[in-house]
Structure 1
Amino acid sequence: MKRAQLIGFSVALVAAGLAYYVAGAFLQPPAPITVEKHVDSTKVLVAGRNIPVGEIVNEGSFRWMTWPKSAVSPDYLNQKTVGADILKRLAGSVARAPILAGEPITKQKLIKPGDGGVLAAILPQGMRAISTKIRAETAAGSLILPNDHVDVILIRRVRGRNNDDQSVADTLFRNVRVLAIGQQIQTKEGKMVAESSASTATLELTPRQSEMMALANTMGDITLSLRSVADLNSDPTGSGAGLSRPKENSVRIVRYGAKSRVYGVN
C-alpha cells in the first residue's frame, strides 16, 4: 500500500470514529433530574393485621402509618388529634366490620364493650335482625354463608275454591343480606366454611319487613334462595313482595306493588 493511501485510510478511520462519538453523544438521553418536594404528612392509625368482624382488638392490633395530609379523611384517627393513649382506649373494642391490614381505623369500625352485642354492632342503622328456621333443603344445601344475599320465599298450604288444599309459593323479599347462620357471623379463619348443623338464619330487614317475616314464619315454610354475587345490584336491597293484613280473617300477598292473591287464614 502506498504511503498516500495509508495516510488517507488513517484519516478516514479517525473521522469515522469521531463521527460515531459525536452521534452517540447526541443520541444519549439526558441524565434524569431529581427534584425533592416536601409533602406535609401525618401519622394515621391503621390495622396492623387483618381483623375479622366480631374480634376483640388489643394494642397490638394497630400501628401508625405516615400519610399525606391531603389524603387524610376527618374520620381517620390522626396521631396529633387523638392523643397518645388512643391505643389503650381502643383496646377491648369489638370490630363492627372486617378490617384489612393497613386500612385506616375509624371510630365507626369499632364498638366498645357495653354498647351492644356483636350482632347489634354490625347491624346498619335503621335495620333489624330477625331469624327464621332453616334446613338443608330450605337453605341451598346448608351452603349459605354470612354476608350472602338471598331471596326469601314463603311456601304454604291454602284452601282452594273447591275446598281442596293447594301449595302456594311467593317471594316475600329479594336481595336480603344474611347476617348469621346459626351463631356464625363470619367465615372461619378466612375460609368459606358453612355451618351445616345450623337451624336458623338471621336476616337483615327493615322494621316493616321484620313484621312481615314474623307473620310469614307462622304461615308456612320459609325457603332461602341463594343469589349470585353478580346479581347483588340488580334489585334494591330488601325489595320484593310483602304481606299485608287486610280486613277480616285473610292475608293478601303483594308482589312488586301489585295485588296477587288473597288467602283465608284458618
Structure 2
Amino acid sequence: MNPRILLIVFLAVGGLGGFLFFRALTRPVVQPKAPPPPIPVERVLVATHAFQVGDFVRGDDSFVTKVLPRSELPEGAVKDTKADRKSVYGAVVIGAIEPGNILRSSQVLPVGAPGFLPAALKPNMRAVSIQVTPVSSVGGLVEPGDHVDLILTQSFHSGSAPPSVVARGVAAGVRVIAVDQTFLPPDILSAESGSEGPLHNNKPSVPPAPPTTVTLEVTPEQAVAITVAAEMGHLSLAIQSSHRHDQLLAPEVKDNQVGDVPDFGAKTVGNVSAVNDGGTTVHVYNGTAGSLNVQF
C-alpha cells in the first residue's frame, strides 16, 4: 500500500482517538441524585379495647404502638414515650375510646387533675365514703376499681333477752372509686414509681397501711341508704368476682339462722338495691323536696 495513504490513515485514526479522549476528559460529571429525606414519623398509642367514660386506664396492655408520619398525627395524639405512658397510667377516660383508635390527650384526665373525682363517676352517679377497718375492708385488700357489696350488721337488745344480731345487704355491685385518698390500684402505683413487683432494687416493699375509708360510686338512692345504714350499725364490704358483676342483694340473716340461710326475697330494682319486705323503714326528709323511705 502507498506509504502516504497509510500515514494519512494513521493520522486520521490518531486524531479521532485524541478527539474522543479529549471529549471524555472534558465531559461534565453527572452527580447521582440524592435520596429523598426520610419522612419524620412518630410512635403513638392505640387502644387495644374499648374504654367507656369513667373507666380507668390500667397497665401497658391497654395500648399498643403504631408508627405514623408526623404529618398525619391527629391533634393531641399521645406518643409512645416513657413520660407519656406514665401520664396516662391511672387516668380516667372522659371521652369514649374505640378499639384501634389513637389515644388523644383530650380523652383522658390524669390523676390529681382538677375535677378528677367527678370525671371518674359514671353519668348520674354519686360518690359516698364509708369508714372501714382491716376486717370490714376484706383484710385491707379492697382496691380502686373493685366491685363490692355492702352488708349492714345490727345488734338488738331487748330487756333481759339475749342480744340478737341481724345482717342484710344494703347495696350490691357498687364500684370502688378510691381507698383512703388513693385512686390508683397497686399495679398502676408500681408502674408509676418504677418498681417491678414486691422487690425492687433488692429492697423489700413496705406493706401499705390498712385503709380507713373507702369511696364508692353509687346511685342517689343508694347514697341515701348507705348514709342511713352507717348510723344504724356496722357496714362491711364483700368483694365481687372480677369475671362477673351483679346487683343481687344479700338476703337478711338472723343469728339463729346461721347455717340454714333461706332466701328472703331480696331483689334489685334497676341500679337501686331494695331490701326485704317487712324490714326496718327509715324516713329521710330533704327540706322542702319531700321525703324518702329507706328500707332495711
TM-score band, normalised by shorter chain:
0.5 to 0.7
User: Secondary structure at 2:135's aligned position in 1?
Assistant: helix
**Residue deviations 1:188-225 (CA, integer Å, cap 9, x gap):** 22469984332001111011111111111111111001
Deviation at 1:119, TM superposition (A): 1.8
Q: 1:26-72 CA deviation, whole Å, 9 max, x = no partner?
A: xxxxxxxxxxxxxxxxx9994399xx9599xxxxxxx87449xxxxx
Q: For structure 1, which runs of at least 5 residues remain unmatched after alignment? A: 1-42, 56-62, 68-77, 243-252
In the alignment, which residue of structure 1 is the partner of 2:34? none
2:92 aligned residue (71, 93, 96): 96
Which secondary structure state, in structure 2, belongs to the residue aligned with residue 138 of structure 1? coil
CA distance in 2, matches of 1:124, 1:259: 30
Residues 163 and 152 of structure 1: CA distance in aligned 2, closer, same or farther (over 3 Å): same
Tell me if 1:229 matches 2:242. Answer: yes
Structure 1 residues 165 and 180: CA distance shift in structure 2, 3 A: same
Partner residue of 1:204 out of 190, 202, 217: 217
Secondary structure of 1:211 counterpart: helix
Contact 1:182–1:195 under 8 Å retained in 2:
no
User: Hey, what does 1:132 align to over in structure 2?
Assistant: 130
How far 1:241 moved relative to its partner?
7.1
Using the alignment, how far apart are the partners of 2:92 and 2:42 within structure 1?
Answer: 20
Question: Within 2, Cα distance between the matches of 1:142 and 1:264?
Answer: 31
The CA deviation string for residues 128-185 of structure 1, in whole angstroms up to 9 with x for no partner, is 1110000011111111111111110011223559876422111111111111111111
Question: How far has the Cα of 1:107 moved from its partner?
Answer: 6.3
Partner of residue 277 from structure 2, selected from 227, 250, 259: 259
Map 1:178-217 to 2 at 5 A: 178-187=176-185, 188-190=189-191, 195-217=208-230
Report the CA distance between 1:228 and its aligned residue. 2.0
Please say if residues 146 and 181 of structure 1, whose CA atoms lie closer than 8 Å, have aligned partners that are also in contact.
Answer: yes
Q: Which amino acid aligns with 1:167?
A: V
Q: Secondary structure at the match of 1:185?
A: coil
Q: Secondary structure at the match of 2:182?
A: coil
**In 1, Cα distance between the equivalents of 2:67 and 2:129?**
41
1:156 alignment partner, SS class: strand
Partner of 2:233: 220
Q: Which residue in 2 is equivalent to 1:154?
A: 152
The AA in structure 2 aligned to 1:228 is S
Larger radius of gyration: 2
Amino-acid identity (%): 23
Distance of aligned partners of 1:95 and 1:207 in 2 relative to their CA distance in 1, 3 Å threshold: same
**Given the two structures, how large is their TM-score scaled by the length of structure 2?**
0.48
Structure 2 counterpart of 1:262, which letter?
T
CA shift for structure 1 position 108: 6.4
Letter in 2 for 1:143: L
Report the TM-score, using the length of structure 1 for normalisation: 0.53
Corresponding residue of 1:39 = none
What is the CA deviation profile of residues 101-145 of structure 1, one whole-angstrom value per residue up to 9, with x for unaligned ones? x96214663248998432222211211111000001111111111
CA contact (8 A) 2:175 2:216 kept: yes
- Counterparts of 1:224 and 1:113, CA distance in 2: 25
SS of residue in 2 equivalent to 1:215: helix
Secondary structure of 2:124 counterpart: coil
Say which SS state the counterpart of residue 103 (structure 2) adopts. Answer: coil
Look up the SS of the partner of 2:225 in the other structure. Answer: helix
Aligned pairs, how many?
185
